[in-house]
Structure 1
């Protein structure tokens, strides 16, 4: 059985790392399994060096399609053209895609056009917001997927409502949490930890990158000002996404407890998250990690594709209105944040279940 694994951006590699490890273990007892790891090059990240792959313990990709840049349509087309050439040179029995980036959708379409079955890891999650490119990617990918590996029962229910049969849905858990749990003892303090003498439980971590929050300077400025005003003067550590950096330059925000830093490595960033009093973010994946680590989290979005982080975990969805920030900060500093728990099957064994299921399908 020949499997082609697709990753298009840094978070994808975090999700596929445990699948690669599980496949490598399976190869020791099943010599008929082989895989190729393909980086589409959708996102260029200077931290995607050899050190990144070494941190996650995965091989450097067999091929980089270098299909980054351009508009959504240009990028989709470039990925499809180059991935078609890859599959022509290296035929596959199954293309495995993860998450919801453009590469996920583009490679799923290409595989199906070439008569190759598709498995989608993290299938079925939905925000209901069609203004998000990721939501379109999810919908298209799941409409042409053969095997659906889900992180929650909610995701499975979403698929069933769209007409997917039960026998094609496999509730396996969350590979992102596999990576988190495997590496938790390896987290390493970033340079800022000692430079400003951070103390566990006495600082906030902030990440922002979504257009609704960072593309309009007035909105970004109001959000930052509200966070600063309500932070009780404890340090705010803000690893700045390149998208956000462009607009920050014009805002003139200057507070003694606000620290802008470069994006961090996986092990450094999660070191900070695990010891934070609160994480404020508009990311989806970070809310999963805070839930497992038991760290309070505020999501500055009007919707989420990961409702289990709210119903079960430590996350609160508060919208993008800066006025909503104060009540939640008050709740935090008054010691009234919900405790939260870990969603079912987020136990570090998801990748094993995925590979076991694939082997059963192809026996």
Structure 2
């Protein structure tokens, strides 16, 4: 029984690693499921893709659709066309998609049009913000999914409100956290650690890439200046996303304590996060990792698709107004930041639960 596992962008790689390991372990004891790893090529440079395969022990893709860059529509069309060609010559029994990137939606649509069922890992999360491409990808994917693997009760509740029956929803936990816990002993400092005299608890990490934060040079510069001003002169390590780099090129007045670096490999980036005083971000996935590692997190967004990181974890929604940073960081420096707890089933065993469920569904 062949399962296609779809990966296309950096966030996908952390989510598929644990599922692949669980499938490999099952195969060693007579498991009936086989997998085909399909890399769409949505992220296609080594810094955003290749290094993750090596560090996380993910095998080389069985198929690389090599779609590359382009607009949202161009990538969607390219992925659908090439995945359709693959399925036409070599169909699978299931298309397993993860997360909320363009590849997730495009492959789900293509599979369903060829009458191949779809399972969605990280189903049901919602921000309510239709200006985010990821939100559209989530909604479209979940509208045509057969089986839903969720990270939290909140995600399951969203699906039930949309009319999905309980028997199609499986609360399994968080594959991102599986990968985090499995690799934590291997975290290592980046090459620039000693050069910039970084020490645990005495620097910040920031990641910014959302259009609302980085596409306007004026607003982005104001946000960076406020981050620099409010962090009390501590270094702010900023791995620069390719999207963000385009706006930064024209900026000449950046805070002195802002340390711009290349996108970091998984093991080095999470070393930075684990030992940071706090993280300032507009990412969703990072808020899950900081929650598990107990690191304070300030999210520069007005909404989140992962409310459990706020309600239970170490994350707080600050919003996109730079003026909100100062009081939040004042609380951090005064030691008045919440401790947080880890949500249920974020225990490192999600991949195993997914594979066990797939065997019941596909090989009863």
Report the TM range for the smaller structure's normalisation. over 0.9
Which residue is equivalent to 2:207? 207
Which residue is equivalent to 2:274? 274
Q: Runs ≥4 in structure 1, deviation > 4 angstroms?
A: 48-51
1:17-62 Cα offsets, whole Å, 9 max, x none, are: 0000000011112353211000001122322565432211110100
Q: Secondary structure at the match of 1:212?
A: helix
The reply to whether residue 127 of structure 1 matches residue 127 of structure 2 is yes
Measured at CA, do residues 49 and 332 of structure 1 come closer, stay the same or move farther in structure 2, by a change above 3 Å?
Answer: closer
The reply to whether residue 46 of structure 1 matches residue 52 of structure 2 is no
Which residue is equivalent to 1:79? 79
Distance in 2, Cα, partners of 1:51 & 1:135: 27
Q: Secondary structure at the match of 2:316?
A: strand
Aligned residue pairs, count: 363
TM-score (norm 2): 0.98
Which residue is equivalent to 1:348? 348
Measured at CA, do residues 222 and 51 of structure 1 come closer, stay the same or move farther in structure 2, by a change above 3 Å?
Answer: closer
Which residue is equivalent to 2:22? 22
Distance in 2, Cα, partners of 1:250 & 1:127: 31
Which residue is equivalent to 2:158? 158
Distance in 2, Cα, partners of 1:284 & 1:255: 25
Q: Secondary structure at the match of 1:18?
A: helix
TM-score (norm 1): 0.98
The reply to whether residue 322 of structure 1 matches residue 314 of structure 2 is no
Is the CA contact (8 Å cut-off) linking 2:314 and 2:340 kept in structure 1?
yes
Q: Secondary structure at the match of 2:254?
A: coil
Is the CA contact (8 Å cut-off) linking 1:173 and 1:345 kept in structure 2?
yes
Which residue is equivalent to 1:230? 230
Q: Secondary structure at the match of 1:119?
A: strand
Distance in 1, Cα, partners of 2:50 & 2:154: 37
Output the aligned Cα RMSD: 1.1
Is the CA contact (8 Å cut-off) linking 1:50 and 1:60 kept in structure 2?
no
Displacement of 1:67 in angstroms is: 1.3
Distance in 2, Cα, partners of 1:44 & 1:77: 17
Q: Which moved more, 1:6-15 or 1:249-258?
A: 249-258
Q: Secondary structure at the match of 1:192?
A: coil
The reply to whether residue 182 of structure 1 matches residue 188 of structure 2 is no
Specify every segment of 5 or more residues in structure 2 that has no aligned partner in the other structure, as ranges: none
Q: Which moved more, 1:212-221 or 1:44-53?
A: 44-53
Distance in 2, Cα, partners of 1:266 & 1:341: 23
Which residue is equivalent to 1:284? 284
Is the CA contact (8 Å cut-off) linking 1:10 and 1:45 kept in structure 2?
no
